Amino acid sequence: MLNDPFQRLGLDREALSVSQLNNRARLLLEDVFAQVWVEGEISNLAKPASGHLYFTLKDSQAQVRCALFRQNAARVRQALRDGLAVRVRGKVSLFEGRGDYQLILDTVEPAGDGALRLAFEALKEKLSAEGLFASERKRALPAHPQRIGIVSSPTGAVIRDIISVFRRRAPQVALTLIPTAVQGREATAQIVRALQLADRAGFDAIILARGGGSLEDLWCFNEEAVARAVADCVTPIVSAVGHETDVSISDFVADVRAPTPSAAAELLAPDSSDLQRRLDSLNRRLALSLRSRLSREQLRLDGLARRLRHPGERLRQQAQRLDDLDMRLRRAFAQQSTSRHERLARLDGRLHAQHPGRALALLRQRLDSLGERLPRAIELQLRQQRQQLENLVQTLHIVSPLATLGRGYSILLDERGQAVRSAAQTRPGQRLKARLSEGELDVRVEDNHLTPVTLSLLD
């Protein structure tokens, strides 16, 4: 292989292998483009388990593959995703295995609108984690507001559109403009101050409005100070910032988001013609309900009048009923008294029949009888137990090894104190203990006659 990969090939048509060609191309690219900055949009982002990142950087006319290895990817603070505009730094290289032209990156930064998008997502995630977007903290809009505050620019089409909607739908609602800048360096502080003034003014609702624009133009509505000012308001707030496709942080924090300022006005401006139609309908329903109620009450009154009787007749009926109840009470009392006397007599007879004196006499007789039987039973039991003991002693003496020893026999015991029952349990020279009827002997085995004896034929 040549020492200089960039020297010209010989005139004899020297051929390179594919790997040699790709290697020379890679070295050439890395030498010429050792460090370049490139700006574009991320697409086809891949995140394998190795921790490396691979994606395509593209613009409207071209694209290039990029590789961001794990040690450099760990230093990127932003969350990379498809569609994100970034500025990258790295060297131009070649993946020799496939011959793919690529950028080996060491730095990735947001570019232009991409930086704002990242800041937007970071603040959105932070405020969401704090619960500022939670549905349970959002307040309902008033059904029939009387006074509404509008936080917006005093010039432009936004305020005119809102006024036009209220004049057409609800001219009785009083509108108050709290002017503020809605774009530029001073806009954030002015919007915060205007929201605080509107919240203290006691309006039924507040509209925070601005017309459409770029992300940079609408950025003051994505500031954390404005979001927290919206969250701190006690008065219900409708956020109407930008066009229908525009979304701001204030939209998430507000109680209601409207796609446009005109839509926000329609949410808070009840249509007077609809209200009039509803009022007429309610009047008709009320009149029908009153007529129906009067008819029912008239029928009820006629029924009560027919049922109404002279109080004297009612008193006579009550007096007769009282006499009847008195007689029934007396009869019931007499019957109950008789029944109780009869029950008492029965219980008294049962009590005399079960007097404890009788039972005590019977128990005393039984106790005397048992007292006489007890000594006899004890004496009989002792005789039986004594006879059984004598029988057991005789039986034990018959089977006792001591009786056997007394007849002249002995017991051989090995070193462990176990009885020797056969010659196979011994070995020549083994010491045993012979237990006699009286005393013990130490003996030694001379021959157990188990090993065959070989005699010399010459002897």
Task: Tell whether 124 and 249 lie within a shared domain.
Answer: yes
pLDDT tops 70 at residue 105: yes
For 43, the domain range is: 18-111
Determine the Cα–Cα distance for residues 237 and 194; give it in Å rounded to an integer: 13
pLDDT tops 50 at residue 337: yes
Do residues 205 and 145 lie in contact, with contact meaning Cβ atoms separated by under 8 Å? yes
pTM of the model: 0.43
Give me the phi and psi of 163, to 5 degrees please. Answer: -65, -40
Tens digits of per-residue pLDDT, 93-102? 888 888 888 9
Residue 98: the pLDDT is 85
Determine the Cα–Cα distance for residues 422 and 73; give it in Å rounded to an integer: 91
Cα 439 versus chain centre, distance: 87
Look up tokens 């070649």; give the residue.
94
Q: What tokens appear for 441 in the block?
A: 């002997």
Closest to 29 measured CA to CA, from 100, 107, 106: 100
Determine the Cα–Cα distance for residues 195 and 180; give it in Å rounded to an integer: 10
3-state secondary structure of 264: helix
Specify the DSSP class assigned to residue 15.
Answer: P
Do residues 23 and 62 lie in contact, with contact meaning Cβ atoms separated by under 8 Å? no
Average pLDDT of the residues in 204-211: 93
How many other CB atoms are there within 10 angstroms of residue 257's CB atom?
Answer: 19
Tens digits of per-residue pLDDT, 170-206? 888 999 999 999 988 889 999 999 999 999 999 999 9
Is 58 a domain residue?
yes
Do residues 36 and 58 lie in contact, with contact meaning Cβ atoms separated by under 8 Å? no
Task: Tell whether 171 and 260 lie within a shared domain.
Answer: yes
Q: Which of 240, 274, 308 is the last residue of a domain?
A: 274
Mean pLDDT of the chain: 84
Residue 113: the pLDDT is 60
Q: Which of 239, 274, 309 is the last residue of a domain?
A: 274
Is 401 a domain residue?
no
Determine the Cα–Cα distance for residues 350 and 372; give it in Å rounded to an integer: 34
Q: Which of 253, 274, 295 is the last residue of a domain?
A: 274
Q: What tokens appear for 178 in the block?
A: 């709290």
Task: Tell whether 82 and 149 lie within a shared domain.
Answer: no
Do residues 43 and 83 lie in contact, with contact meaning Cβ atoms separated by under 8 Å? yes
Q: Which residues of 96-109 are buried (b: 16+ CB within 10 A; e: fewer)?
A: eeeeeebbbbbebe
Is 123 a domain residue?
yes
Burial class (CB in 10 A: 0-12, 13-18, 19+), 208: buried
CATH number at residue 41: 2.40.50.140
